[in-house]
Amino acid sequence: MKAYLILFIIMLSIQFWKVETQRSYLFRCFLTFFPLFLYGAFRTACGDYESYAVYFEGVHSGGDLFLMANERMEWGFALLNYVLPSYRMVIVVTSLFVCLSFAYFFYKTVPSKYSWLAITFLFLSADKTFFFWFSGIRNAIAISILMLSVSFIRDRQYIMMALMAAVAVLFHLSAILFFPLAFIVARSKKMERTEFLIWLIVMIVLISTPATIFIEKLFPYVVDSQFERYETYLEEAHDAGLLVTIGGVLMALPALFYLYRNKDLSKDDYTIGRLALMFMYSYFLGSLNIRTSQYFIPFVIPFIVTFFYRAKKKSIDMLYVVYCGIFLAYALFVVSMNSVYSPFIMFRSLFN
């Protein structure tokens, strides 16, 4: 916990270094994430750390690479383990890629004047962002590639998006679902009434329909091959179902109305806003929210920053920003910290 707080203070302090040009702001973004890179690159325990270490040893102990690249370890990750000389190098290289990706994502989506707010929300969502990235290495690579694909989503570049998705699938199969979903949903046009009503209807359906119905009737594959692995997580999610649902509604509804009523937003704002809605809707998915929140939480951060500096009714709009902070803080410090899977319990680094 102490290392987490010190890391937050260091990264937040860097935001008060004034920058005059975009180039200097880009450098500040990379500098901001350098401490986080060190924190992750020299970790000694975190989630699947040990299982990935065992896998690396298997690859380098004469194991057949064709067998190593199975349904749990995709080809891209298998090859990465094969070409790198040590498991520590795997950790360093993947941590570097994730931190550089997020730094560039911040540079492209967060104005330098409000980067302090973005860093604050990054740390309030730490259980779903960098603690998760440092645990699920393969997933983190795929999510990073999605962050780097925002411009392709915005400009509807089908070929480039397909290529990015293909690369992401080499590291985590979940990209097969989330990349097309992001591309379909996150249009850069104004939100018209029909789309607004669709979002609203989907929210009502997800809230009113038990997740078990979707699992049993529509997703037998998930039940047979994936559901059991997440059983404990899902039981905890069900225990706090009502509170989570209410919290998600209070976060999603104002965001939905904001995107619908504001007709002067930029293409980036509309694209990021719709991706942020995907994260907010993940709270309605119950047992189906296996990776949705982790894939789309990065987009909530620039969305809240945009909401903050574009606020027209200052007192009301600021109340929404404060609420989002409280909601994420509650999820991190109350729910996550009291879980046996708490990142504050499982994460170990040379800096701890």
**pLDDT tens digits along 274-316:** 999 999 998 887 656 768 889 999 999 999 999 998 876 677 8
pLDDT tens, position by position, 114-171: 999 999 999 999 888 988 888 889 999 999 999 999 999 999 999 999 999 999 999 9
pTM value is 0.89
What is the distance between the terminal CA atoms of the chain, rounded to a whole angstrom?
Answer: 8
Q: Which long-range contacts (CB under 8 A, 24 or more apart) does 232-239 make?
A: 232/341, 233/341, 234/286, 234/287, 236/339, 237/286, 237/287, 237/289, 238/286, 238/287
Show the tokens assigned to 324. Answer: 């989002």
CA distance linking residue 40 with residue 98, whole number of Å: 10
Cβ neighbours, 10 Å, residue 86: 10
In angstroms, the CA 118 to CA 123 distance is 9
Angle between helices 115-124 and 314-330 (to 10 degrees): 30
Query: What is the average per-residue pLDDT within 240-253?
Result: 81
Q: How far apart are CA 178 and CA 348, in angstroms?
A: 30
Tokens representing 184?
């379909």
| pLDDT one-digit tens code per residue, 292-302 | 889 999 999 99
Place 66 in a pLDDT band, splitting at 50, 70 and 90: low
- Dihedral of CA atoms 139, 145, 151, 155 in degrees, nearest 10, equals -80
Structure confidence by residue, pLDDT tens digits, 23-64: 999 999 999 999 999 999 998 888 778 888 888 888 887 655
Give the separation between CA 132 and CA 337, rounded to whole angstroms: 14
Distance CA 279, CA 260 (A): 17
Give mean pLDDT, residues 162-189. Answer: 93
Tokens of 225: 């091959």
pLDDT value at 262 more than 70? yes
- Of 280, 102, 108, nearest in space to 199 by CA: 280
Residue 239 burial (CB < 10 Å; 0-12/13-18/19+)? Answer: exposed
In the prediction, which pLDDT does 243 show? 76
Q: Which of 125, 121, 174, 92 is nearest to 15 (CA)?
A: 121
H/E stretch holding 202 reads helix 193-208
Local confidence band at 65 (pLDDT 50, 70, 90 cut-offs): low
Q: Are 78 and 63 in contact (CB under 8 A)?
A: no
Distance CA 226, CA 127 (A): 21
Does position 200 have pLDDT exceeding 60, yes or no? yes
Query: CA 278 to CA 177: how far, in whole Å?
Result: 13
pLDDT for 347 equals 80
Give CA–CA dist 324/320, Å, rounded. 6
